[in-house]
Structure 1
Amino acid sequence: MYLSNYATAPHLDTLYETFVQDSYTIRTEGCSIPALHPLDAGIKEFVKYPESVKSCLNSKSPFLENNTTHIWIKKENVMHYNVSDDSFLCCYRSFYRPSSVKDIHSAKIDDRVEYRKCKHFKAIIEANDEFVHVVCYTRARILYQQYYLFVVNKELSWDSAVNARKNKTSYNVIILGIDAVSRLNFYRTMPKTLNFLTRKGAIELKGYNKVGDNTFPNLIPMLLGIRESELKKTCVPNPKYTFFDNCPFIWDWYKEAGYYTALGEDSASLGTFNYLRGGFARNPTDYYLRTFIREAEKNVGNNKDFNSLLCMNNKYFYRVLLDYIENLLIKMRSSRLFGFFWEVTMSHDYLNYPMLMDFFYEQFFKNLDHQKVLEDTIIFLVSDHGIRWGNIRATKQGRLEERLPFVHILVPDSFKKKYNEAYSNLKLNRQRLTTPFNLYTTLNDLIDLSNIENSNIKSRSQKSYWRERAISLFLPLPGNRTCSIADIDDHWCTCHRERKISTESVEALLAANYILKEINNLVHNYKLCSVLNITEIVDATELEAGTEEDSEVSWREYMVVLRTSPGGAVFESTVRDYGTRWSLIGTISRLNLYGYQSHCIDNYNLKLYCYCL
Structure 2
Amino acid sequence: MPLEENENFIIYKKESEKRFYVQNSKCEIPYVELFSADFMKTYKPRNFTRCSNQSDLITVHFDKVFNQYTLHVNEEVLHKLSQSKSNDFSCFYQKIIYGQSADRYDKKGNRTKFTQDFLVPLDVEGMLVDCRTADERRLLQKDAFVFVQDKKIPHSAQKDRKASVIMYGIDTVSRTNLRRMMPMIYEFLKSPGWFEMMGYNKVADNTFPNIFAMLTGFSPETAEARVCNTSKTGCLDEIPFIWKDFKKDGYLTAYAEDSLSINTFNYLKPGFYYRPTDYYFRPFLNALEKETMIQYCPSCKMKYCLGRRLANSYIYDYCRQFMQRFVADRPIWGMFWTNHFSHDDVFMLSAMQHKILNDLLNFEKDGAFEHTIMIFFSDHGARFGPMMHMKESFLEERLPMMFIYLPPWFREKYPQYAEALSQNQNRLSSNFDVYNTLKHILNIEELKEDTKWSHDCPQCQSLFYSLPDKRGCSEAAIPEAYCTCHNYEEVKADPWTWQMADLVVGRINQYLQRKNLQNLCSNLTLRVVNITEERMLELDGDVSPIKGMRHYHTKFQVNQNRAEFFATTSYDRETEDLEINVEQISRTNWYGSDAECVNNKIHKLFCVCLSKLWITV
Same fold? TM cut 0.5: yes
Shift of 1:186: 0.9
Aligned to 2:408: 413
SS at match of 1:423: helix
In the alignment, which residue of structure 1 is the partner of 2:586?
Answer: 589
Post-superposition offset of 1:314 = 2.2
User: Judging changes above 3 Å, is the alpha-carbon distance between structure 1 residues 549 and 591 closer, same or farther for their aligned structure 2 residues?
Assistant: closer
1:176 and 2:172 matched: no
Q: Mapping of 1:170-209 within 5 angstroms?
A: 170-209=162-201
Quick one: distance in 2 between partners of 1:243 and 1:295? 25
> Which of 57, 65, 68 matches 2:59?
65
* Alignment: residue pair count: 576
User: 5 Å matches for 1:305-320?
Assistant: 306-320=300-314
Question: SS state of the match for residue 442, structure 2?
Answer: coil
Match of 2:349 among 341, 351, 354: 354
What are the within-5 Å matches in structure 2 for residues 83-162 of structure 1? Answer: 89-98=90-99, 100=100, 110-121=103-114, 123-128=116-121, 129-136=124-131, 144-156=141-153, 161-162=155-156
Query: Is 1:518–2:518 an aligned residue pair?
Result: no
Are 1:495 and 2:485 counterparts? Answer: yes
Residues in 2 aligned to 1:110 and 1:325: alpha-carbon distance in whole angstroms: 19
**Distance in 2 between residues matched to 1:226 and 1:299, nearest whole Å:** 37
Residues 1:335 and 2:342 are matched in the alignment: no
> How far apart are the structure 1 equivalents of 2:230 and 2:412?
47
**Letter aligned with residue 91 of structure 1:** F
- Partner SS, residue 212 of structure 1: coil
The match for 1:56 is 51
Give the superposition deviation at 1:87.
Answer: 9.2
Q: 1:136 to 1:367 in 2, by over 3 A?
A: closer
Q: Is the 8 A contact 1:511 1:558 kept in 2?
A: no
Please list the CA deviations of residues 481-532 of structure 1 after superposition, one character each: whole Å capped at 9, or x if unmatched: 11112111111111111121233331x2232122212322343323232222
Give the whole-Å Cα distance in 1 for the aligned partners of 2:89 and 2:543.
Answer: 80
Counterpart of 1:282 in structure 2: which amino acid?
A: Y
What's the Cα RMSD here? 3.0
Q: Distance in 2 between matches of 1:87 and 1:363?
A: 34
Q: Is the 8 A contact 2:500 2:576 kept in 1?
A: no
Give the counterpart of 1:504 among 494, 501, 524: 494
Q: How far is the alpha carbon of 1:47 from its aligned partner?
A: 3.1
Shift in Å, 1:91: 2.7
- Change in 2 beyond 3 A, CA 1:203/1:17: closer
> Higher mean Cα deviation, 439-448 or 65-74?
65-74
Q: Deviations over 1:91-118 (max 9, x none)?
A: 31222333x45xxxxxxx7234343333
Are residues 1:224 and 2:222 paired?
A: no
Q: Distance in 2 between matches of 1:291 and 1:226?
A: 27
Instruction: Tell me by how many angstroms 1:171 deviates.
Output: 0.9
Paired with 2:88 and 2:366, the residues of 1 have a C-alpha distance of: 42
TM-superposed deviation, 1:131: 1.0
Change (3 A) 1:15 1:351: farther
Higher mean alpha-carbon deviation, 137-146 vs 317-326, is at 137-146
Relative to structure 1, the CA distance from residue 76 to residue 447 in structure 2 (aligned partners, 3 Å threshold; closer, same or farther) is same
TM-score using structure 1 length = 0.87
Q: Give the Cα separation in 1 of the matches to 2:544 and 2:508.
A: 31
Could you tell me which runs of 5 or more consecutive residues in structure 2 were left unpaired when the two chains were aligned.
Answer: 63-68, 612-617
Aligned 1:412-491 pairs, distance under 5 A: 412-451=407-446, 468-491=458-481
Aligned twin of 1:104 = none
Counterpart-to-counterpart distance in 2, 1:48 and 1:88: 45
The structural deviation recorded for 1:226 is 0.9
CA displacement, residues 275-314 of structure 1 (integer Å, 9 cap, x when unaligned): 1111100000001001111211222252235441111222
Contact 1:72 1:124 (8 Å CA) reproduced: yes
Distance 1:143 1:234, change over 3 A: farther
Alpha-carbon distance change, 37 to 599 in structure 1, aligned in 2, over 3 angstroms: same
Asked if the contact 2:194–2:406 (Cα under 8 Å) also holds between the matched residues in 1, the reply is yes
Q: Distance in 1 between matches of 2:58 and 2:486?
A: 56
